[in-house]
Amino acid sequence: MTKVLIVDDNAAVLEALSLLLEIHGYEVVTATTPKAALQIVNYQAIGLVLQDMNFSADTTSGEEGRELFFALRQLNPLLPIILITAWTELEQAVELVKAGAADYIPKPWDDSKLITTIKNLVALGQAASQNRVLKQQAANFDNTRQAAVSIGLVYESAAMQRVVDMSVQVAKSDVPVLITGPNGSGKEKIAELIQSQSPLNQSAFVKVNAGALPQELIEAELFGAETGAFTSANKTRIGRFEAAHQGTLFLDEIGNLPLSGQVKLLRVLQTGEFEKLGSVKTQKTDVRIISATNSDLTRDIANGAFREDLFYRLNVIEINVPPLNERGDDVLALAKHFLPGRDISLTGQQALQAYAWPGNVRELENVCRRVSILHPDGTLDADDFGLPSISGEVNTERKGGKEPSKSEIEAALTEFNGTISKVARYLGLSRQALYRRLDKYGIDYKS
């Protein structure tokens, strides 16, 4: 419901206009002085103002109304303002219309004309507001898309757009971020995107594969070591936390870090302090932590393989990168990116989209590298990629090539508790083919 502010020092005018507007479905707020009107506009969501030109019994110049008009415009330049004028103030009202007033009405006013004017102005205001929202959304989309392109992130799917939007949003803060998703899905690219959009984008960005650190060298790798701290330490080693000071440290495969390493990592995250191996001098570090894992850390916590207190230190915000087989629109975009200038036939495109890509983006990149070497020229067909054919995926025992009905799909979803891979296999469809049919029939498969 649009809220209309009426500003007039005449109680009879306020009562008459309030009744008229309320009958036509508007919420009405009234003020008898310019000061009160400005306070209302400053603190309430006013959609339109009806204002008189004079507020003192001994004044007819319209100057008070003029001052109020420009004060309201300063508070909200887009607020529609209708002036209520006497015949003697007509010239002043025309001047203010040229300055941006929406319209003016003479005293006494015509009820039907006034309501028509208000309806038109409210509709125009709502349309303009919606247009501003759409423009802002488009600008935000362009900005996030440009940010992704700048670090080489290729995507077309709505699922990845949501990941990119969230990454750009959280980049502005300094809280720890945990990126989850299967191997090869692009977690490191998301970490790079967060870093590129953060206030620390000109500072150090240190990457370390936490799961690949030898257990006996974890402390030296993370915190550094003095000369002679262990057998092969023939010079002072700078640790990753020291190298990333006042920057960002990306801890990849954090789920594979052994418990002994988790204890050491937890301490520095809690206190911001550490000692180099072989040193008693405590050093301070100030780093933003981004971590990534393909593990189910909640399951690992239950199994005693991952510390719960460390999990909550790392997982202030979680960003999940979906597997490639849930981002169908990304497959061709990535294939064209990995095969620049190459034409892919329709059967080739179908083969790429029908394949499940268990190795995700990394597997797709490797397939494209192989095909570019083995088939350097000409249009690429399905056979060139060496993927299972679409027909080869059909379960002839179940469907015999028949198109599954909506009821059969729903029954299969119930039978397999909504597990898409099992439903697709049972119906003799690829996952992408099943997704298309779910969308076609309007079946809710996320619940």
In the chain, CATH 3.40.50.300 covers: 155-320
In the chain, CATH 1.10.8.60 covers: 324-392
Rounded CA-CA distance 282/280 in Å is: 6
Q: Give the pLDDT confidence of 212-267 residue by residue, as tens digits.
A: 888 888 888 899 888 876 766 667 888 999 999 999 999 999 999 999 899 999 99
In the chain, CATH 3.40.50.2300 covers: 3-125
- Residue in the structure block whose two tokens are 């209708």: 82
pLDDT score, position 255: 93
Beta strands in 181-275 (DSSP E): 205-209, 224-225, 237-238, 248-252, 273-275
pLDDT band, residue 416 (cuts 50/70/90): confident
The CATH code that applies to domain 155-320 is 3.40.50.300
pLDDT score, position 398: 43
Q: Provide, rounded to the nearest whole percent, the portion of the chain with pLDDT above 70.
A: 91
CATH topology of domain 394-441: Arc Repressor Mutant, subunit A (1.10.10)
pLDDT score, position 287: 95
- β-pair type (177-180, 317-320): parallel
Sign for the pseudo-dihedral over CA of 360, 364, 369, 371:
positive
Rounded CA-CA distance 287/289 in Å is: 6
Q: Give the pLDDT confidence of 286-324 residue by residue, as tens digits.
A: 999 999 999 999 999 999 999 999 999 999 999 999 999
Min mean pLDDT across 41-45, 183-187, 290-294, 395-399 is at 395-399
In the chain, CATH 1.10.10 covers: 394-441
Rounded CA-CA distance 236/229 in Å is: 9
Architecture of domain 324-392: Orthogonal Bundle (1.10)
In the CATH scheme, what is the homologous superfamily, with its name and number, of domain 3-125? Response regulator (3.40.50.2300)
SS3 category, 354: helix
pLDDT at 61 over 80: no
Min mean pLDDT across 33-37, 123-127, 225-229, 289-293 is at 225-229
Min mean pLDDT across 207-221, 285-299, 359-373, 421-435 is at 421-435
pLDDT score, position 5: 95
- β-pair type (282-284, 273-275): antiparallel
pLDDT at 390 over 50: no
What average pLDDT does the chain have? Answer: 87
Phi-psi region of 95 (alpha: psi -120 to 50; beta: other; left: phi over 0): alpha
CB neighbours of residue 180 within 10 Å: 19
